[in-house]
Structure formats: structure tokens, C-alpha cells
Amino acid sequence: MSKAFLKKGGGEMSTMVNIRTDKLHPEASELKKFLSERLMGQQLAIERIVSSFNLSLSPLKDPQTPIFVGLFLGGTGTGKTYTAELVAEFLSGKKDGMTKILGPDFSQDHLITSLTGSSHSYVGYDDPPILTQDNIDSYVKRHRMMVAYKKNARVRELMNELSKTANILRSKDEKLPEWDEFFEHYKNLDSSLKIQIDIIFNREPIRSVILIDEFEKSSHALWNLLLEISSKGQIAIKGKYAEIVSFKNSFIFLTSNLASDKLASMAKNGQTSIGFGTSKSDKNINWHIAVDKLRKVIPPELFNRIEENTIVFKQPSADELKAIMNLEFKEITDFLWKNQRIFLRASNELLEFIFKKSSDHPEFGGRQARKRIKKYIREKLAGPLNSGDIRRGDVIFADINKKTGMIVFQKDMSKSSIREVDGIEIEEAFFDPDEDEEKVPDIFGSD
Ligand SMILES: Nc1ncnc2c1ncn2[C@@H]1O[C@H](COP(=O)(O)OP(=O)(O)O)[C@@H](O)[C@H]1O
Ligand SMILES: [Mg+2]
């Protein structure tokens, strides 16, 4: 602050208070929590995504640019694609609720027409291109409609009314269509009804996620498109489906395996941060290796646009790998609980064994934990689940037999018998379909 200002403002100085700059918009704060609980060891990526989202929710948002455009580099299995999947899940309820584009599919300029349409009657002229507004918005819109349909009786009534008029329901007394069925009908509704429904669900901005994996393997045409999207926030679709498509409410994730071999071999030889936490210099070495390669491939004006959000994902430390493994296991327990009211728990010895197996290939990053949980838990459970030896309401304990090294599953008959208490089936006792309760209750008590 200049002296002149200090003098002028004189007396008022004493009433100045510092303003916190770390408070987030509630939605941004929710996203931060969602990502922090699921994505291990990539704080920088979380910080950049959340900070961009927070800005987009403020009056200072740049009206010309997407919410976030970022490039993720680094070794395989470090969570690059997973990060985009998590943001998609946050917005649309599903990991695959996003528009996914593979760079190598667009290795030649002319292939871009399947994204943006073509002005002539080429093959495929009649198919809508991938990047229409309808397409990129469909995931979040579908989710938003589903939540309203399930949770809000008035919305359900209104939609039901509309469905009747649209001849979805044949008679007055017929029960509501299942959600998926409804959505199929909705897509085919005639336009004025569709518009009425759309008005309800377009009040809030519809956010979308676009993922371009291995983007460096695409052609200049795709890079130019990216440049346009990241600088103007919109593109023009050509031909039969001509329209201006806005990406101003989009998160755009680019991933690249550039330099990943080198980063992975450094990880294998212990030259990067695995097992040693993170030192700043490690990150800088990785960043420079990856970015030097990148600069040789993509046009400088595109690099300039994404440089700030170019993040090198680091190899997981031992603790982070363990946390990833626990998350992978929790995904299974949550799924079994939610879908079949099966309680599954594993002994510490078994989890320790799987962790050891997950650590044997540091160059595969967190993916190894996923693979090991698949091999030792998912595949082993498949048999008894298919045969009915493990069924709805069962309480299962997974352990490792220290003598034989075999993985064993035991059914806790005493716990399972609570199914019959007072003649109430366990699923009825715990399951309230309207509540969408996904948390596994702690019926074992804590250790
Ligand atoms: N940092 C991480 N936090 C949590 N899970 C991770 C992480 N990295 C990898 N995983 C797990 O490994 C899987 C593969 O990771 P992915 O993002 O596809 O790797 P890549 O970096 O090669 O794109 C993910 O689906 C996730 O289950
Ligand atoms: Mg990937």
C-alpha cells in the first residue's frame, strides 16, 4: 500500500479487518470433500479443480471459459482418469457420466467431423455428432431428473401427468413407470412436452465433464478445437445438427502418458517419491521431464492455455497405496450392502496380505491395489454369490488361514439369524427404498 493512500485513508485504517480468502462456496466445499475422501495423494489436482470450481461460482467468473481445463501427466495407475471419473460421479452420480474421447481415435484431421459434424453429405451425416449440447449435458440432466423423480412427489406427479398425455401410460390407474423406463419415454416425448420438462430441470446450470484420454495422440484438428473451447468456451457444430455448443459449465480433463515410461521406471528404481513422502524437488523433476516432452508435441498456444493446470500425478506412497486398497475394499462392502444387504468384513491379516501383494509393482501405481482386491476378494466371492452360498442378509467375515495361506470366507450364523427376529427380514428392517441409505451400519461394533 502506498504512503499517500495510508495518509489519505488515515483514521479509517483502524477499522480494517482481514478477509479470509480460504472460504469456499458450499458446492465447491462439497466437491473438495468428495474428492479428498476418494483420491489419494493428489492434493495439487484437487486444489486446482476445487479452486476453479469455486471461482466459477463467484461473480468474478470469466464468462468466456470453461470451469476447468487441465492436463494430467504422470505414471500409469496414479489416478489421472480416475480424477475425471470422480468429478463425473460427483455431478451425475456415475463414474461414466461424462463424454469420453480417446485421442488416438482422432489421429487424423478429417476424423474430427464425428465430434463436430460435417457440412456435406458425408457418411455419418445423419448421425448427431458427439459434442452436441444435448449429448454433453445428458448425464447431469438425467441424474437431476432421476433424483427429482424419486424424491419429490410433486415432480413425480407432474411427470406422471405428462407421461399420461404422451401415452406412456395406457390407463389412469396404471402405476408409475420405473425410472429407466420413464427416461426412455421422456427421450421420445413429442417436443412441447419435452420442453415443459426441460424447463424444470434447466433452471440450474447443467455441468458436464469431458475427458480426452491420451490427448497428445490426436491431430491438430482436435488441438485447435481444444484451443477454441478453452479460450471462447464454445464451438460451432456444423451440418444437419448445426448449433453453438457451450462449454462454459464444463470440466475438461486431458490426460497424457507422455514421459510415463520414464516416470514409472524412476518409481521402480526408487528415484521418485514412492515410500518417501513427497519432496518438492521430486515433483519439480517429474514436472520438467513431462512438460519438456509435451512442449515438443503440442502447439505452444495450447500449452500456454493449459500450463497453469498441468499437473504431474505422483506415484502413491506406501500409506497412500494402503488407503487406495482400503477404498477398493470399501467399494465392495458398500456395493454388497446397498444391493443385497450383505455385510462383509475382512481381518487385518487378510488386508495386510493384500497390501503386500499390492506393493510389489510400484510402477503400476494405485491400479495394482485395484487388481489385487479384484483377485483376492471380488473373484473369490463370485462363486458363493452365484451359487447362493452367500445370499441376501448374510454376515460374512473374510480371513486368511495363516497355515495354508488360503483365503477363507465364514458366515456368521449368529448374526445372520437376526434376519428372523420378530419375523422381520433383515432387508426390510434396514432398507427404506426412499432413503437411498448407502452407509453400511456398524453391526460388528468397532474393534
Ligand atoms: N490416487 C489414487 N487414489 C485413489 N485411487 C486410485 C488412485 N490412483 C489410482 N487409483 C485406482 O486405480 C485405478 C486406475 O487408475 P487410473 O486413474 O485409471 O490410472 P491412470 O493414471 O493411468 O489414468 C482407479 O480406477 C482407482 O481405482
Ligand atoms: Mg488413464
CATH code of residue 220: 3.40.50.300
Same domain, 224 and 122: yes
In the listed set 275, 293, 313, which residue is the last one of a domain according to the structure? 313
Q: How far apart are CA 282 and CA 79, in angstroms?
A: 18
Same domain, 211 and 105: yes
Same domain, 108 and 218: yes
Residue whose CA is closest, atom 24 of ligand 1? 82
pLDDT in tens, 380-431: 999 999 999 999 989 999 999 888 888 999 988 776 544 433 333 333 333 3
95, 273, 367, 368: residue to mutate for ligand 1 pocket, most atoms within 8 A of CB: 367
> Which 8-state DSSP code applies to residue 390?
S
Among 197, 202, 203, CA closest to 183: 197
List residues bridging with 313 in a β-sheet: 74
Q: How far apart are CA 7 and CA 13, in angstroms?
A: 9
In degrees, rounded to 5, the angle at the alpha carbon of residue 75 between the alpha carbons of residues 361 and 43 is 105
Q: Is residue 176 part of a domain?
A: no
| Contacts of 41 by beta carbon, 8 Å cutoff, 6+ apart | 79, 278, 314, 316, 317, 320
Same domain, 346 and 253: no
Amino acid residing at 437: E
* Secondary element (H or E) of residue 142: helix 133-151
Same domain, 399 and 325: yes
**Strands 407-411 and 243-246, how do they pair?**
unpaired
Task: Indicate whether this model's pTM tops 0.85.
Answer: no
Same domain, 326 and 403: yes
In which domain, by residue range, is 353 found?
318-430
**Cβ distance 46 to 24 under 8 Å?**
no
Q: How far apart are CA 372 and CA 356, in angstroms?
A: 10
Same domain, 224 and 271: yes
Other Cβ atoms closer than 10 A to 360: 9
Average pLDDT of the residues in 110-116: 91
Any residues with Cβ below 6 Å from ligand 1, and which? Answer: 39-42, 76-82, 255, 313, 316, 324, 327, 365-367, 370
Of ligand 1's listed atoms, the one at least distance from the Cα of 38 is: 4
Ion ligand 2: protein residues whose beta carbon lies under 5 Å: 80-81
Highest-scoring range by mean pLDDT, 123-127, 160-164, 198-202, 314-318: 314-318
In the listed set 313, 334, 349, which residue is the last one of a domain according to the structure? 313
Question: How many structural domains does the chain have?
Answer: 2
Q: Is residue 189 part of a domain?
A: no
pLDDT in tens, 275-328: 333 444 445 677 788 788 888 888 899 999 998 899 999 889 999 999 999 999
Same domain, 74 and 96: yes
Same domain, 375 and 422: yes
Q: Is 313 helix (H, G, I), strand (E, B) or coil?
A: strand
Same domain, 227 and 285: yes
Same domain, 303 and 325: no
Same domain, 236 and 88: yes
